[in-house]
């Protein structure tokens, strides 16, 4: 686990306060400790935290950090699940929470311009009077911010049909490592030339800092139907997932929860899940009214055929929200089962879901931990939640070791190490499982092209050894090709 002492640099603090105001620069230990973590179980203390109010203040803070030769880590709401907002090498955290304005709504062109500190759900609420919404909906959408969503290429329950953040961002204003402001992309969809906007989305704050975002808006569907199918076994529910997609139906959402998750949810929200059920599927279809009714009938027939013991269906908003209540409250409810949990994020082919889930349960039994699975079954994006007590000596390290085993299960099944949480600090050493030395060299060259080096979010994404920023021996060949600054 990361453990950094606060290093005082009076000249750095003085310059930052001159640029953004004394009130908006934090350097007291009791203030900094709030920014030493995100939603993972890692820690790292910054030297200073800056809360800018404008893109010019962000640029000024970057220039000051560069002058003092300290790294910068951008931070949104701190809801990230891969350690992406942890300041590995100390330095300056630029928290964008004050940059929370929706600058423009253009209903005719189906777009909006927002600042990075805008809450995800607030975008949809702001454009709802025009019959529009913003599709990517991470489970933390009531708290997570648009800048963090861009950094991690966030997904959510409805990304099966509508795609992740990268499919809904048209343009970005960024701050470069030199502290310059420039635009990538624009308000016109699919402009010619290199897709630099797409390159930045999902780069986890390692290339630049985003200060404005142009997002694509969609029309609200005419009709939405939600179904809840209850199964005796996880394998049955997994087979139903493949059967639904195999039938040519692409639901807006296709979610699964297992018995442990249902047990926690039932105690919290009283969703009416049978205590002996093995899994539930939550399936949502939307579109034209005739289309959704036909798809709902087909889904119901498939679930019946594959042994669903009960089916519930919601047509009205009230009924659908009732069916969704258990899924949306699942992660918060896990605190009823254990003091701590470690959420993982791997992806496997849908047809491999039964085998991989069996492997997850077996690995957790072997390590002596309970696991609660709640995940985006439609696109094979697993979220095993390992339940533990971090106060028990050695428990955290054993949980991290177990997490590596589960990630390896996903890769060996033909999957990958992240679907929506990013690589961050947590999974940087797994990158060599899925990318060759040449692949990583090319990624390093992208950092060189942006001129980033170790200026932005060091210690993330690329493999390293013991601590942040220390490059493993396996990476020496790639570094030699790409240049020494690529992975600093």
- Model confidence over 301-348: pLDDT tens digits? 999 999 999 999 999 999 999 999 989 889 889 999 999 999 999 999
Q: What is the pLDDT of residue 469?
A: 42
| Highest CATH level, class, for 224-315 | alpha beta
Kindly report the CATH number that applies to the domain delimited by 102-219: 3.30.465.10
Fold of 338-412: Alpha-Beta Plaits (3.30.70)
Fold of 10-95: 3.30.43
The residues spanned by each domain of the chain are 10-95, 102-219, 224-315, 338-412, 438-482
Per the structure block, which two tokens stand in for 366?
Answer: 């072997």
Helix (H, G, I), strand (E, B) or coil at 253: strand
Q: Which pTM does this prediction carry? A: 0.91
How far is the C-alpha of 477 from the C-alpha of 209, rounded, in Å? 29
How far is the C-alpha of 403 from the C-alpha of 342, rounded, in Å? 8
Can 224-315 and 338-412 be said to share one CATH topology?
Answer: yes
Element (H, E) at 223: strand 223-231
Q: What is the pLDDT of residue 296?
A: 96
Q: What is the pLDDT of residue 488?
A: 41
**pLDDT 10s digit of each residue in the chain, 488 long?**
444 455 578 999 999 999 999 999 999 999 999 999 898 888 899 999 999 999 999 999 999 999 999 999 999 999 999 999 999 999 999 999 999 999 999 999 999 999 999 999 999 999 999 999 999 999 899 999 999 999 999 999 999 999 999 999 999 999 999 999 999 999 998 888 999 999 999 999 999 999 999 999 999 999 999 999 999 999 999 999 999 999 999 999 999 999 999 999 999 988 889 989 999 999 999 999 999 999 999 999 999 999 999 999 999 999 999 999 989 889 889 999 999 999 999 999 999 999 999 999 999 999 999 999 999 999 999 999 999 999 999 999 999 999 999 999 999 999 999 999 999 999 999 999 999 999 999 998 999 899 988 899 999 999 875 455 444 444 445 545 655 555 44
């Amino acid at each position: 686990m990361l453990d950094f002492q606060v290093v005082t640099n009076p000249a750095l603090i003085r310059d930052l306060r001159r640029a953004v105001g004394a009130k908006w620069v934090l350097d007291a230990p009791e203030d900094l400790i709030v920014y030493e973590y995100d939603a993972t179980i890692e820690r790292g203390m910054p030297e200073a935290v800056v809360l800018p109010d404008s893109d010019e203040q962000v640029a000024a803070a970057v220039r000051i950090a560069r002058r003092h030769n300290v790294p910068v880590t951008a931070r949104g709401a701190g809801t990230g699940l891969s350690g992406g907002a942890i300041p590995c090498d100390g330095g300056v955290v630029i928290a964008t929470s004050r940059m929370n304005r929706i600058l423009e709504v253009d209903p005719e062109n189906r777009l909006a311009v927002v600042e990075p500190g805008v809450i995800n759900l607030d975008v949809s609420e702001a454009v709802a009077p025009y019959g529009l919404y913003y599709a990517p909906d991470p489970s933390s959408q009531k708290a997570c911010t648009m800048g963090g969503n861009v950094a991690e290429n966030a997904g959510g329950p409805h990304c099966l049909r509508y795609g992740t953040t990268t499919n809904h961002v048209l343009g970005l204003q960024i701050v470069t490592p030199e502290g310059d402001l420039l635009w990538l992309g624009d308000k016109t969809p699919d402009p010619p030339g290199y897709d630099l906007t797409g390159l930045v989305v999902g780069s986890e704050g390692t290339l630049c800092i985003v200060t404005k975002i142009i997002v694509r808006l969609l029309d609200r569907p005419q009709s939405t139907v939600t179904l809840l199918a209850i199964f005796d076994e996880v394998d049955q529910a997994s087979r139903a997932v493949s059967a639904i997609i195999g039938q040519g139906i692409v639901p807006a959402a296709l979610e699964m929860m297992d018995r442990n998750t249902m047990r926690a949810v039932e105690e919290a929200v009283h969703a009416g899940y049978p205590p002996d059920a093995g899994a539930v599927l939550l399936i949502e279809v939307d579109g034209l009214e005739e289309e959704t009714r036909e798809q709902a009938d087909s889904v119901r027939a498939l679930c019946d055929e594959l042994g669903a013991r009960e089916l519930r269906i919601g047509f009205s908003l009230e009924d659908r929200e009732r069916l969704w209540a258990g899924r949306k409250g699942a992660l918060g409810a896990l605190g009823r089962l254990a003091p701590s949990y470690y959420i993982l994020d791997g992806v496997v082919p849908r047809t491999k879901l039964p085998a991989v889930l069996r492997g997850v349960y077996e690995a957790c039994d072997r390590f002596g931990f309970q696991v609660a699975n709640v995940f985006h079954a439609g696109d094979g994006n697993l979220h095993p939640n390992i339940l533990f007590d971090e106060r028990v000596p050695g428990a955290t390290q054993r949980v991290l070791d177990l997490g590596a085993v589960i990630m390896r299960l996903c890769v060996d099944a033909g999957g990958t190490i992240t679907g929506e949480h990013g690589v961050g600090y947590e999974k940087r050493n797994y990158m060599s499982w899925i990318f060759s030395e040449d692949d990583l060299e090319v990624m390093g060259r992208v950092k060189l092209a942006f001129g980033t080096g170790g200026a932005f979010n060091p210690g993330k994404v690329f493999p390293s050894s013991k601590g942040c920023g220390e490059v493993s021996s396996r990476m020496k060949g790639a570094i030699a090709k790409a240049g020494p600054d690529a992975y600093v």
